[in-house]
């Protein structure tokens, strides 16, 4: 299905995100013939440039970041749709100019008045840009034409700022016009969590505290902070990853079955389960969290310096580059089942997975066998580096005596489905254009996420540098992350 005709306005068109992800995704959509019949892209930025300069720079980006070989004809057609407009929220007249530019384009290109505004800008520009769009009437939906705003993360820096940003946006537009992106929802394996749970009969009956011992969510990265020192040092691993990406995974795994597969039902259930995350006291928050910073080490063949030596990181910074949390959900399904979350930078492996650990079988009948080699019953949804679903269980080793070994069944997406490589943004951009916001965060979901991490942010702030641990770059993370589970008689699933 082709989206309706529209104008696609990108604020921050000269930036990294546009070049790395937005344009390559538009290109992939163009190559699949999934862009609207009548379409135009308006690139907006503060620094003036000509249409040709913008097109050249986008083409260069495309050649570097495209996920498939660039077909010159498709690229040329797409870039011919692109024009530049100078827009600066500090210069109100520039938004009047943008409006005129769009009116004129709509006549010449016949895009029909539908407009999508994509904020690929630094977060400080989100509210001022939205305000200007509202002031000049660009967000007003009239004569059947739609107006949509796409916002990237980070959406706020804590509960109060996320609420303030939501309130600000909702003064200017309606919730249905807002598309808060979390790129994790563009990942096929993440979308598949709902299908795995609700399109199969065998999982749902055991998906609860009677059968599940605990759940682990791991997002480990090999990359350090790179050239994002300034942003990262003000943000840290918790804010950067947990209320958004890890909570997307957690809510999909933990939510109740939605009545319908539509944006209202799915997003309501996701927000509901996040709002049921227990709010620990300050002392409990410190006990059930681990924060750590990486020290110099080696990843592969590369020497990685201390986090504190990264350009733009404050010399005595206490910002965490690793976080592990134990969270409890206060509802009927999950009472007593811990969710252990961990994420960090500069680790030994790149690994993103959700591992569901089922309760141990009563094994007395096998006492005397090699019980210590028994595998734990993990069902693991692998998101990176390979897209998999894996089940670990126990089997009898062939032979006259009964000895048991842990074995595994592994489904690899790549073996079954031959999909063209993508950026992960195509579905999201396509959905914005067809008006389906099921894969986007709603205001209450974002706020429920911040509410759940706020006790940790508060406790850490009050604790200052007390309690921040270290780990060597290239290691598996700080030892105290293991203690978090060991205290409960559990351990992290090993990387296989």
**Binding interface with ligand BG6 (CB under 6 A):** 153, 219, 221, 240, 352
Residue 491 near residue 343, CB atoms below 8 Å = no
Cβ proximity to ligand BG6, 238 vs 255, nearer residue: 238
Cβ proximity to ligand BG6, 149 vs 219, nearer residue: 219
CA neighbours closer than 13 Å in the CB half-sphere of residue 386 = 12
Cβ proximity to ligand BG6, 166 vs 352, nearer residue: 352
Closest distance between ligand BG6 and the C-beta of residue 169, in Å? 20
Cβ proximity to ligand BG6, 155 vs 207, nearer residue: 155
Residues 446 and 465: their CA atoms lie apart, in Å, by 28
Closest distance between ligand BG6 and the C-beta of residue 312, in Å? 15
Whether 245 is catalytic is: yes
Closest distance between ligand BG6 and the C-beta of residue 193, in Å? 15
Cβ proximity to ligand BG6, 15 vs 406, nearer residue: 15
CB neighbours (10 Å) of residue 446?
A: 26
Residue 247 near residue 452, CB atoms below 8 Å = yes
Q: What is the DSSP letter of 119?
A: E
Q: What is the DSSP letter of 492?
A: P
Tokens of 183: 């790129």
Closest distance between ligand BG6 and the C-beta of residue 17, in Å? 11
Residue 344 near residue 240, CB atoms below 8 Å = no
Residues 305 and 315: their CA atoms lie apart, in Å, by 13
- Residue position matching structure tokens 């990264």: 310
CA neighbours closer than 13 Å in the CB half-sphere of residue 108 = 9
Residues 368 and 357: their CA atoms lie apart, in Å, by 24
Return the beta strands (E) in 247-316 as ranges: 289-295, 297-299, 302-304
CB neighbours (10 Å) of residue 209?
A: 16
Residue nearest to ligand BG6 (CB): 240
Angle (CA) 220-222-228 rounded to 5° is 100
Cβ proximity to ligand BG6, 366 vs 413, nearer residue: 413
Catalytic residue among 19, 101, 214, 245: 245
Closest distance between ligand BG6 and the C-beta of residue 160, in Å? 21
Residue 446 near residue 454, CB atoms below 8 Å = no
Tokens of 297: 């080490």
Which active-site residues does the annotation give? 245
């Amino acid at each position: 299905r082709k989206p309706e005709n529209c104008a696609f306005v990108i604020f921050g068109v000269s930036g990294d995100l546009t070049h790395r992800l937005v344009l390559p995704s538009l290109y992939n959509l163009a190559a699949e013939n999934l862009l609207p019949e009548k379409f135009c892209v308006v690139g907006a930025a503060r620094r003036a440039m000509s249409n040709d300069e913008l097109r050249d720079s986008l083409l260069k980006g495309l050649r570097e970041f495209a996920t498939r070989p660039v077909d010159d004809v498709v690229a040329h057609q797409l870039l011919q749709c692109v024009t530049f407009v100078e827009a600066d929220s500090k210069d109100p007249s520039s938004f009047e100019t943008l409006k005129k530019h769009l009116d004129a384009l709509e006549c010449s290109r016949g895009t029909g008045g539908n407009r999508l505004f994509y904020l690929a800008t630094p977060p400080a520009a989100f509210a001022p840009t939205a305000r200007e769009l509202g002031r000049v009437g660009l967000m007003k939906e009239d004569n059947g034409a739609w107006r949509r705003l796409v916002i990237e993360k980070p959406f706020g820096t804590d509960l109060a700022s996320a609420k303030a940003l939501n309130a600000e946006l909702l003064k200017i537009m309606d919730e249905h016009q807002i598309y808060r992106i979390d790129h994790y929802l563009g990942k096929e394996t993440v979308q598949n969590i709902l299908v795995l749970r609700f399109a199969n009969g065998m999982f749902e009956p055991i998906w609860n505290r009677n059968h599940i011992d605990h759940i682990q969510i791991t997002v480990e990265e090999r990359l350090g902070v790179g050239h994002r020192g300034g942003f990262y040092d003000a943000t840290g691993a918790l804010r950067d990853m947990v209320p958004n990406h890890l909570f997307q995974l957690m809510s999909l795994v933990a939510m109740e079955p939605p009545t319908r597969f539509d944006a209202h039902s799915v997003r309501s259930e996701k927000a509901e389960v996040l709002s049921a995350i227990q709010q620990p006291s300050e002392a409990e928050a410190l006990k059930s969290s681990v924060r750590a910073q990486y020290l110099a080490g080696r990843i592969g063949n590369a020497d990685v310096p201390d986090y504190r030596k990264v350009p733009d990181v404050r010399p005595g910074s206490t910002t965490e580059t690793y976080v592990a949390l134990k969270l409890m959900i206060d509802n009927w399904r999950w009472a007593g089942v811990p969710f252990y979350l961990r994420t960090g930078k500069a680790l030994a492996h790149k690994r993103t997975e959700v591992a569901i650990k089922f309760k141990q079988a009563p094994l007395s009948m096998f006492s005397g066998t090699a019980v210590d080699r028994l595998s734990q019953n993990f069902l693991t949804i692998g998101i990176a580096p390979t897209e998999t679903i894996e089940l670990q269980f126990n089997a009898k080793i062939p032979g006259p005596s009964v000895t048991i070994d842990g074995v595994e069944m592994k489904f690899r997406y790549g073996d079954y489905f031959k999909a063209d490589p993508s950026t992960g943004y195509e579905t999201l951009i396509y959905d914005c254009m067809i008006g389906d916001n099921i894969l986007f965060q709603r205001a209450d979901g974002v706020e429920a996420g911040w509410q759940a991490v706020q006790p940790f942010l508060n406790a850490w702030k009050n604790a200052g540098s007390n309690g921040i641990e270290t780990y060597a770059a290239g290691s598996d993370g700080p030892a105290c992350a293991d203690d978090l589970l060991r205290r409960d008689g559990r351990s992290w699933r090993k990387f296989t």
